[in-house]
Amino acid sequence: QVQLVESGGGLVQAGGSLRLSCAASGRTFSNYAMGWFRQAPGKEREFVATISKSGDSTYYQDSVKGRFTISRDNAKNTVYLQMNSLKPEDTAVYYCAAAYSPGAVVRGESYYWGQGTQVTVSS
């Protein structure tokens, strides 16, 4: 059983940066691939980024490549999403997720989900 709690969301101007954190409870954090999803008003939840159990590999949605960076610190049971060059279209509620593999994260087949944190980018 794992609980995920996101933090770090807020209001930022276009072109700015924000760093999201996802703190996980439990003793088996390193057994899970982790990822981030987002959901904008009136739209379905979409995949943003994922990272392998060890942190050795990552994968991103095309729209955020070169701007967002996912990372993890297994000693702290925490995964991060560094967001740079933010655009208004990045505005959404961002969710942290844990799954069996990065592929499972991409497919939305996560075992656990956080409560979400709001990111608003103004123009």
Report pLDDT digits (tens) over 63-84.
Answer: 999 999 999 999 999 999 999 9
The confidence score (pLDDT) of residue 121 equals 98
36 within 8 A of 119, measured Cβ to Cβ: no
The confidence score (pLDDT) of residue 28 equals 83
Rounded Cα gap, residues 122 and 22, in angstroms: 24
Q: With a cut of 50, list the residues of the chain below it in pLDDT.
A: none
Burial of 20 (0-12, 13-18, 19+ CB in 10 A): buried
The confidence score (pLDDT) of residue 1 equals 78
Q: Of 113, 29, 19, 36, whose CA–CA distance to 74 is shortest?
A: 29
The confidence score (pLDDT) of residue 27 equals 75
